[in-house]
Amino acid sequence: MAVLASAAAVFAITREDDVSNPNVEFRPEPTQTPVPAEERPAGKGKKAKPRGPLDGFRWAHYGYTKDRRRYLAADFSVRPPFKRGWNWDGDVLLEFPPILVGNRLFLVKNDGVVVALNRKTGKVAWKRDMGYLAASSPAFGDGRIYVTLLEREKGVKAGQVAALRARDGKLVWSRPLASRTESSPLHDGDFIYFGAEDGSVYAMRDGSGNVAWKFRASGAVKGGLALDGGKLYLGAYGGTAYALWKDSGKQAWSNGAPGGNLYSTPAVAFGRVYIGSTNGRMYSFSSATGSLAWSRGTGSYVYASPAVAQVPGGEPTVYFGSYDGTFYALDARTGDTRWSHSDGGKISGAATVVGNLVYYSNWGKRNSTALGARTGRKVWSTTRGAFNPVISNGDTIYLTGFSSVAAFQPKGAAKAKAAAAAKGAKKAAKGKRKAGQGKRKAGQGKRKAAQRRKAERRRNAERRRKAERRRRAERRRNRSSRG
């Protein structure tokens, strides 16, 4: 609560005017973020390889893509009304959502326990206690799950980073850190990247945890790092935004967002970096130079990480919530308001765009809401929610509540899936009946063949007896004629 009070005090004394610099480069993007295709078994004529639990669609990082846009260009049919499938209760706070890899959801509970869930059933595949306190999403790469922890054990105000084998949770390596970290890691190539509260930014080798390079920012790096075009983007406490070259860790540029702390994980899109501040503003910087394109104030501080998307039929838009209880959709180029939705409460976590809907949770109300991404019209809400609500595989919505994860599927798709399952069961039953009939026919055939063989044996025996009687009669006639 002291942190929030301090942030509120900072906000109260640092009100600044909105900024607009229209000459800063903005790059339109004609193509949308693609939905990765499911890996499917080989077709006819090829030997199909069995699917492993990690094969298939991957939402491998907090924010989906490495640039942290938080946008999945799913089919528009992935929308309410929903039918809830399974629900898993984690018993403790879940500040950050899971990631999704094939048939597994991976998450880190606030008590430091890493959990793997079966995405189809919600049942626990494995779990491992890694520390005392955590507040981040894991990342996936090279068959491993990478996790960061705020405190590695009770009473130790320092964290750790670790790699676990994704299929069974076996510890591959772990490294203690000099300070706490709640920065959701990013995996790229042979490295993982994350920040820490002492201002350190790390590049570690994914196979060993050895430090490749380290950069020291001006303040705590709480949020995750975003990657685009060979550069890592991050925000620090004290209000400085940075771009670092990912291969060396050397600074490409920095710029200030004065009067607040940059807790938000940045999103990179359209040649811009978007990041929120506890001074109550959303900022847009040039990703190439760091020049400030625009800043836009809200009624209170912005902890939320933005989602940035151009849904079909829409325009480039930045979506985020504020502690003023309002959810905003701003023009990604200019910062002008496209629409806003007044909800009350406190919006602290990040939004996610799935298809043509944008989802957010309200920390003050402990609920979640879906709005039309182009219109801001409310289309769905649920009493589950707290911080970062939704991820998806383009078929099912996985919603993170205060301490739970639940699977929601569009009712039409759920009905079709149930019908397909019923059809499959009917087909299987028919197959069993046919197999049973085949077995019965085979049995009948065997019995008939046995009966034919038995009859043939009887006929052969009768023929032998008759032949023997003829031979005896012939011998008697021969004896009579000689006598």
Listing DSSP states for 288-310 in one string gives TT--EEEEEE-SS---PPPEEE-
The strand pairing partners of 151, in sequence order, are 133
Please list the pLDDT of the chain residue by residue as tens digits (483 residues).
334 444 444 444 345 689 999 899 999 887 665 555 444 444 445 555 667 899 999 999 999 999 999 999 988 888 899 999 999 999 999 999 999 999 999 999 999 999 999 999 999 999 999 999 999 999 999 999 999 999 999 999 999 999 999 999 999 999 999 999 999 999 999 999 999 999 999 999 999 999 999 999 999 999 999 999 999 999 999 999 999 999 999 999 999 988 899 999 999 999 999 999 999 999 999 999 999 999 999 989 999 999 999 999 999 999 999 999 999 999 999 999 999 999 999 999 999 999 999 999 999 999 999 999 999 999 999 999 999 999 999 999 999 999 999 999 998 764 555 555 556 667 766 777 777 777 777 778 888 888 888 888 888 888 888 888 888 787 777 777 766
At residue 342, φ and ψ (nearest 5 deg) are -85, 120
At residue 397, φ and ψ (nearest 5 deg) are -95, 130
- The whole-angstrom separation of Cα 181 and Cα 195 is 7
- The whole-angstrom separation of Cα 184 and Cα 419 is 40
- The whole-angstrom separation of Cα 305 and Cα 350 is 5
- The whole-angstrom separation of Cα 325 and Cα 342 is 6
C-alpha closest to that of 318 among 302, 346, 337:
337
CATH 3.10.450.50 fits 2-402, yes or no: no
Torsion, Cα 258 4 381 90, to 10 degrees, reads: 120
Q: DSSP for 235-258?
A: EETTTEEEEEETTT--EEEEEE-T
Query: What is the identity of the amino acid at 309?
Result: A
pTM for the structure as a whole = 0.82
Longest dimension (CA), the chain: 150
- The whole-angstrom separation of Cα 121 and Cα 141 is 24
Measuring CA to CA, how many Å separate 87 from each of 79, 80, 167, 398, 400? 19, 18, 22, 10, 10
Residue appearing with tokens 């809830």: 84
In this structure, the number of other CB atoms found within 10 A of the CB of residue 403 comes to: 16
Q: Which residues contact 297 (CB under 8 A, 6 or more apart)?
A: 15, 16, 18, 280, 281
- The whole-angstrom separation of Cα 103 and Cα 223 is 27
Q: Which residues contact 357 (CB under 8 A, 6 or more apart)?
A: 79, 370, 371, 372, 373, 379, 380
Region of 174 on the Ramachandran plot (φ > 0 left; ψ -120 to 50 alpha; else beta): beta
Q: If you ran DSSP here, which 8-state letter would residue 53 be given? A: T
Residue appearing with tokens 């602290």: 348
Q: Are 97 and 384 in contact (CB under 8 A)?
A: no
HSE (side-chain half, CA atoms, 13 Å) at 466: 6
- Opening angle at CA 247, ends 244 and 224, nearest 5: 50
- The whole-angstrom separation of Cα 1 and Cα 117 is 33
Question: What 3 state SS string does 448-470 have?
Answer: HHHHHHHHHHHHHHHHHHHHHHH
